[in-house]
Amino acid sequence: MAGSSADQGRGRRAQPPWAPPAGSEPCKLRLYNSLTRNKDVFVPQRGRRVTWYCCGPTVYDASHMGHARSYISFDILRRVLRDYFQFDVFYCMNITDIDDKIIRRARQNHLLEQYRGRRPRPAQLLQDVRAALEPLAEKLSATSDPDKKQMLERMRSAVQLAADPLEQALRTGLAAEELERRAQVLLDEARDVLSDWLDCTLGSGVTDNSIFSELPRFWEAEFHKDMAALNVLPPDVLTRVSEYVPEIVRFVQRIVDNGYGYVSGGSVYFDTVKFAASERHSYGKLVPEAVGDQQALQEGEGDLSVSAERLSEKRSPNDFALWKASKPGEPSWPSPWGKGRPGWHIECSAMAGTLLGASMDIHGGGFDLRFPHHDNELAQSEAHFENDCWVRYFLHTGHLTIAGCKMSKSLKNFVTIKDALRRHSARQLRLAFLLHSWKDTLDYSSNTMESALQYEKFMNEFFLTVKDLLRAPSDVTGRFEKWGEEEAALNESFLDKKTAVHEALCDNVDTRSALEEVRALVSQCNLYMAARKAARRRPNRALLESIAGYLTHLLQVFGAIEEESALGFPVGGPGSSLNLEGAVMPYLQALSEFRAGVRRIARERNVPEVLRLSDALRDDVLPELGVRLEDHEGLPTVVKLVDRETLLREREEKRRVEEERRRKKEEAARKKQEQEAARLAKMKIPPSEMFLSEGDKYSRFDENGLPTHDTEGKELSKGQAKKLRKLFEAQQKLHAEYLQMAPCGGAP
């Protein structure tokens, strides 16, 4: 036996060792890092755990589309890292509720309300407004920024237009009621001018800290409402400056102890010169070319903090405040250096450092925050922790413009988030952002939104069609039809598109390219379904369900689908859409099948009234309820739940197109009738008479009525005569045709 096995072994060919198939290395996530100005491979410091700090809003007014640009974009990035790449993201965001803008606005609102409460007499109001216009005129003459100058000019003109009628009324002695009415108009129009004047004259007397907390508390609540309406995920932890003052004081003290901060005039400043001279540190990592830009530095310090006195306290013009000694009319907290308040930049460093430690993976903010805010954050944090890697990846979202222009109240293109949501849904706004790179400038315009609307409609139609296919009755085995070449080709394309989407998301979360790959895949599915419909064959439902499920999940990852959905965009509203579709669709399906049976019988028995009623149900009744029926010859009626407003717009557009088609048809018929009438009139003319009426061209004719001489009596050339002969012969044929049309050879 052993010998036999050996003999068999000697005759067997040696097998090569098993080896895994050769494959390309999977792509890695790369993010555009403002620190390097390159797309860097994303490698968190602690495995799959990601620490992320995002600069939140300064809450003193309504949130606008510039805020939406940053927070929707970061929400998309956060969701992709968490739900697609499966990172464990810890997301921290701050609320700036102590700031020069907040202090000034809070004082202005408080003083204006006090002023209103005193109910000034019309003459006193007019006098105060005239006084308030004087500093406005000075500010206007000192302003070089064209947008700001335009805004101030409009403000002054509007106040002047409201003041003149009141002044005239006072001169002419109008009734008290009319004086009060005109005074109220002026008070409303001069609100901004008066509040600024009152703040300049009385602001230092505002001492109650609660006045400075009410304003940011209100606008923070409004901000959270706006974010929820935009389907922006709340942060894992939210920090407020007012709640972290002790931590900020300790953070500043550590910087001073490390030798990078100094006390001057009760304030604490960061020593940029000493920091930059250190071998371990460098200042201006993000925008080194902006270091020394005094305008940007002063804007970072705040309006209330830029004065000759404050500037003289600094060792270098580039130094910035870590802690500001509070002046009269400003909120204050105790510190080792006296009563004061935090500087703008230090708040983020202290709060992020307290929660995330000496080094975080991601820091995010708007593009305009790079210098001085983020460069100063980096410097003071690395001075505190004595390291040079406080942030590993700095992500900055691009600017937002309005129809190509910078958003500005003076240009009347200032759009709040609430205004935007009155025009478009949160999904449509998000799709507009998804169709652009998160780090590039985005133009919020009618063209941008139209692209988003068309994309939403395109995707929604695909989902509705697939859902209708899946509702068709069948047993379990009926869901798994045999694949042919078309199915194999579509599936191969599906796999290719998934790979392309993955590569796009690895490439700096390129959602624009990802959505274009999705569009191409859906187009291929539509062609496949159309070919199947033309062949009167049912598309493969399992394959289409798989594709629709993948696309639904991808849109959920992007936040474009707000909740768990079996397939596609939910219908109805958040929280109720799935119940709505599941509840009403069986009844709509039964109605559709009943209608199809009635239409079939009406056709067989030629009952047009019933067909008209069934068409009215489809075209007039059901669209009002958000239901679309699509009839296809020889195939079951397609039932789709669609937004009512969308269906009504579609119905109006259909009627407009039909009316245009009818008008064109009538116009064509009228023209044809006129042409026929003109042809008939021409046919009636005997050839012997056709030239006789042209006395302005010819003077003599032969016996057949053909011209022989022109108006001057000159004989026609042979060429002219030949041409007229051809016209004469053509009329002979035309007239003969007319005579044949007439009964018994007479005139018709």
DSSP string, 460-476: HHHHHHHHHHHHS---G
The pLDDT assigned to 573 comes to: 54
Q: Is the pLDDT of residue 5 over 70?
A: no
Quote the CA–CA distance of 124 and 167 in Å, as a whole number.
11
* Own/partner pairs, 446-451, CB within 8 angstroms, 24+ separation: 446/403, 449/423, 449/424
Q: Kindly write down the DSSP assignment for every residue of 700-717, as one continuous string.
A: EE-TTS-EEEETTSPBPP
Q: Which of 126-130, 269-273, 638-642 has the lowest mean pLDDT?
A: 638-642
CATH code matching the domain that covers 32-96+236-397, chosen among 1.10.3290.10, 3.40.50.620, 3.30.559.10, 3.40.50.10860 = 3.40.50.620
The proportion of the chain whose per-residue pLDDT surpasses 70, expressed as a percent, equals 95
Please write the tens of the pLDDT for every residue from 21-34: 887 778 999 999 99
The proportion of the chain whose per-residue pLDDT surpasses 90, expressed as a percent, equals 64
Question: Residue holding tokens 């001085």?
Answer: 372
Burial class (CB in 10 A: 0-12, 13-18, 19+), 520: middle
Q: Kindly write down the DSSP assignment for every residue of 573-638, as one continuous string.
A: STTTHHHHHHHHHHHHHHHHHHHHHHHHHHHHTT-HHHHHHHHHIIIIIGGGGTEEEEEETTEEEE
Q: Is the pLDDT of residue 173 over 90?
A: no
Assign 653 a pLDDT band (cuts: 50, 70, 90): confident
Sign of the dihedral defined by the CA atoms of residues 286, 290, 292, 295, in that order: negative
Assign 536 a pLDDT band (cuts: 50, 70, 90): confident
Please write the tens of the pLDDT for every residue from 384-429: 999 999 999 999 999 999 988 888 765 667 899 999 999 999 999 9
Q: What is the mean pLDDT of the chain?
A: 91
Q: Is the pLDDT of residue 236 over 50?
A: yes
Same CATH fold, 426-474+483-558 and 32-96+236-397?
Answer: no
Q: Which of 8-12, 25-29, 431-435 has the lowest mean pLDDT?
A: 8-12
The pLDDT assigned to 116 comes to: 94
Q: Which of 344, 296, 306 is nearest to 58 (CA)?
A: 344
Q: Which of 9, 77, 39, 63 is nearest to 558 (CA)?
A: 77
Assign 592 a pLDDT band (cuts: 50, 70, 90): confident
Domain boundaries in the chain? 32-96+236-397, 100-212, 426-474+483-558, 580-642, 685-747
Please write the tens of the pLDDT for every residue from 507-530: 999 999 999 999 999 999 999 999
Neighbours of 378 (CB within 10 A): 25
Q: Kindly write down the DSSP assignment for every residue of 505-535, as one continuous string.
A: HHBT--HHHHHHHHHHHHHHHHHHHHHHHHT
Quote the CA–CA distance of 34 and 285 in Å, as a whole number.
9
Q: Is the pLDDT of residue 577 over 50?
A: no
Read off the pLDDT of each residue in 611-620 and give the average, rounded to a whole number: 89
Structural fold of domain 426-474+483-558: Isoleucyl-tRNA Synthetase; Domain 1 (1.10.730)
Question: Residue holding tokens 């067997």?
Answer: 12
Assign 745 a pLDDT band (cuts: 50, 70, 90): very low
Beta bridge partners of 333: 340
Please write the tens of the pLDDT for every residue from 537-562: 889 999 999 999 999 999 999 999 98
List the structure tokens of 613. Answer: 């009623």
Identity at 298, one-letter amino acid code: Q
The pLDDT assigned to 636 comes to: 83
Please write the tens of the pLDDT for every residue from 701-744: 998 889 998 888 899 998 988 999 999 998 888 888 888 876 64
Please write the tens of the pLDDT for every residue from 641-652: 887 888 888 888
Q: Is the pLDDT of residue 150 over 70?
A: yes
Using DSSP, state whether 136 is helix, strand or coil: helix
Question: Residue holding tokens 């956060």?
Answer: 78
> Could you give phi then psi for residue 284, rounded to 5 degrees?
85, 45
User: Omega of the bond prior to 120 within 30 degrees of 0, cis?
Assistant: no
Please write the tens of the pLDDT for every residue from 346-393: 999 999 999 999 999 999 999 999 999 999 999 999 999 999 999 999
Q: Is the pLDDT of residue 16 over 70?
A: yes
Please enumerate in sequence order all residues whose Cβ is within 8 A of that of 297, keeping only pairs 6 or more positions apart, or say none.
Answer: 317, 318, 320, 372
Q: Which of 128-132, 446-450, 474-478 has the lowest mean pLDDT?
A: 474-478
Q: Which of 76-80, 228-232, 711-715 has the lowest mean pLDDT?
A: 711-715
Identity at 466, one-letter amino acid code: V
Whether the Cβ atoms of residue 69 and residue 548 lie closer than 8 Å to each other: no
Pairing of strands 261-264, 267-270: antiparallel
Q: Is the pLDDT of residue 605 over 80?
A: yes
